[in-house]
Amino acid sequence: MRTMDITDARTFIAVAEAGSISRAARELHLTQPAVTRRIQRLEHAIGARLIDRRKRPFALTDVGQAAIERCRRLVSTRDELKALAQGGAALPTRECRIGVAHALTEIALTQPVDDLLDSFPAVVLRLATGWSRDLAERVRSGALDAAVVLLPRADGLPAGVTGRDLGTEQLQIIASRARHSRQPTLKELATSGWILNPEGCAARATLQKVLAKAGLPLRVGVETYNYELQMSLVARGRGFGLVPSRLVSKSAARAALSVLDVRALDFPMTVWLLTTELPSALQAALNTFAGSLERRLAPKRSGK
């Protein structure tokens, strides 16, 4: 078995994170054949295939899934030793890749980010946003170090990751105060248009499941990622909405909104910080981030 080359390990990490050899080649300023040769050398050194070349889209093999985190730790340890040799006790720079669900960007990417960077100035943050299920898969595959996601409380943790329960996000059914003076029935809610996040949103999927169990459809009139725009449209009578309660209370349209109490559609969501096995220094930075976010969610958990 040949000796593993640290450059080949770095290339494998780049390919796994980019999701394709061609994208990794562009990021590394190499040709695709050069990247392929490095991956093949690493596979030869390990003695197993790391990438399933039969699958489209790109996928790591089981060995590749297990190897990616070990390659990251190998590269990280090598960089730390090099930094210590060159700068004495200077703290090495660490990259921390955190994904945040669309619905949580307003609360997660403010004070918690400041607290992490203030406590760990050597950390370089790489932030991404997306749907909770997709972010969970990126954590499981090693493309992200951690992700803050929003999932139905009844679902629990996704497979292949560990998680810290940071709090509950209570969703509220909202309507135009001027147009809905009484509580609508579940059937009326189903036959009216909804203003929701696009498909991929865990809350929307749960709403659709609840209605489907009652034999009712979900009619979507408007799709938009922007919650403030959703609430503005609801206030103008364009349909019903499903929005986190913390955002309703702060909305510019709140005076024109009515919160509906529909028992069948009461499904709290859990805010999770998902991770896999990480170096202790990186885990400490994420603990600071998680603690800050947990404190911001705490008043909502206690109903204050």
- pTM above the 0.95 mark? no
Write out the residue limits of the CATH 3.40.190.10 domain(s) in the chain: 93-169+269-302, 171-265
pLDDT at residue 304 in the model: 39
Predicted confidence band at 84 (pLDDT cuts at 50, 70, 90)? Answer: low
Q: What is the mean pLDDT of residues 124-150?
A: 90
Within 8 A by CB and 6+ apart from 253, the residues are 228, 231, 232, 234, 235
Answer with the residue of higher pLDDT: 236 or 71: 236
pLDDT in tens, 233-244: 999 999 999 999
pLDDT at residue 19 in the model: 82
- The CATH number that domain 171-265 falls under is 3.40.190.10
CB 25, CB 34: distance < 8 Å: yes
Within 8 A by CB and 6+ apart from 90, the residues are 83, 84
Question: Among 20-29, 63-72, 73-82, which is the least confidently predicted range?
Answer: 73-82
Write out the residue limits of the CATH 1.10.10.10 domain(s) in the chain: 6-76
pLDDT in tens, 151-182: 988 888 888 889 999 998 888 999 999 887 67
- The CATH number that domain 6-76 falls under is 1.10.10.10
Q: Which of 155, 186, 149, 192 is nearest to 293 (CA)?
A: 149
Residue 261, phi-psi category: left (phi > 0), alpha (psi -120 to 50), beta (remainder)? beta
Other Cβ atoms less than 10 A from the Cβ of 196: the count is 23
CATH of 93-169+269-302, one of 3.40.630.20, 3.40.50.300, 3.40.190.10, 3.40.50.720: 3.40.190.10
Q: What is the mean pLDDT of residues 67-79?
A: 79
d(CA 269, CA 139): 20
Predicted confidence band at 87 (pLDDT cuts at 50, 70, 90)? Answer: low
pLDDT at residue 90 is higher than 60: no
pLDDT in tens, 245-282: 889 988 999 999 999 988 778 778 899 999 988 877 78
Answer with the residue of higher pLDDT: 176 or 75: 176
Predicted confidence band at 93 (pLDDT cuts at 50, 70, 90)? Answer: low
